[in-house]
Structure 1
Amino acid sequence: MEGKRKAVVLLSGGLDSSTVLAYAISKGYDVHAISFDYGQRHSREMKSSEDLARYYGVDRKIVHVDLRSIGKSALTDDIEVPTRSLESISDEIPVTYVPARNTIFLAIAAAYAESLGSTDIFIGANAIDYSGYPDCRPEYFNAMENALSLGTEIGLKHGMHINVPLQYLTKGEIITLGMKLGVPYHLTWSCYRGGDKACGECDSCLLRLKGFMEAGSEDPIKYEKYPEFYERYLKDRKK
């Protein structure tokens, strides 16, 4: 492989994927972003992924996968997005889990990587501050990497690599890393609900705000309301 090593980065438009995009670029990869229009309940994330790709000047491929036809998730079906306390988020797998989503996305990302002559895929999954999804755990990525290495021509020759650099970082540590890398977090979107402002109530909003609090910074995007712990944090910062 001549020149820079190519890498495919899964870019959802969220906080984690934007940090991983910046991380892969900082490591000298020739980055090719891939975003999935999978029938999610709103297109706000897709707009953010477009903005981020433009900001960094990277190619972005959009793949359409109809997971709405499968359903059984609050992100693809007519199921209410739950509101839980921060303390109970990882207690059980929530209805926002999309069946086999990362497995589907990684398989397609591997096909794209192989077409580029690349063996590297980057994904912004995290197993510390997360909603308990089974396809975000280290053992899952190890098994998936092995499957993709066995199931692709380039993998058989060189091995396929799923890079999960944020895997063991807290949200606060992820944001701290992102700020060092200059990630434009004002362009990102994490909320499970669509709208002009993030809801401030869903799992993703709570974890995101907790991360900015731990990083000693303020989230630059707008919210409909803040949870009590973040309201207290903002008041303390003004003292």
Structure 2
Amino acid sequence: MEPVLFYGVPSGCSLASIIALEWLGRPYRLSRVEMMEQPWPSAFARINPKMKTPALVLGDGDTLTESLAILMHIARRGQEGSGTTERIPSRAAGAKSPDDGLAEMLAYLTTDFFNAFGPLWLAYESGELDAGSKAMLRKLGETDVRREFAYLNRHLAKKDWLLGGEVPTVADAYLYAVARWADYHDIFNLEREYPEVFRLLSKLRQEPAVQFAVAIENGEDVRGNGAFLGHVTLQDALK
């Protein structure tokens, strides 16, 4: 059986895993989780007891959770056999192995970079907070997000992609999925203040796999490169 990826909408970080699966080009299905609908179906706990997305049900029925683990798994699949896309194997310069470089970057993105947005989301989602508390959270979040974008802007100064190779990797896919939150919260002018990050995100926006994943997230009826075999319901995935 082909893998099934459970992805969350709207604007979930699981967008990165859809991009990566498209780059991989091997058969897969998707299952959509509307994150704003609370509570989530209790049966989802059988997929991921942490009640979070993404979650990838593998061909043998085992389940893999956490973006870092899922993206590393997809990257390793891309390194196996022949006929796989060049975009999946990670490439890093220097003494570190390719897997070391990818793991290091993904660990940073899924912790420091992701968590920098935490105060902004808390201010946005917590209706019971007073205006002063929300303003404090927003100021904290803006400071944290700016710090991480400044780091990435320096990191990308002499690189076409995060790992320095000639093509994007799953790390770039994750960056795209999360970096767009800065626009959502209207923090800064990305092109003016962090031009290297803006350049990378603009290139990623032209990737067919990225365009496909965004269309899927928006609920559009798209086919991609042929690897996507359609959506399944939670009930069907649990059979």
TM-score, length-normalised on structure 2? 0.34
Return the structure number with greater helix share.
2
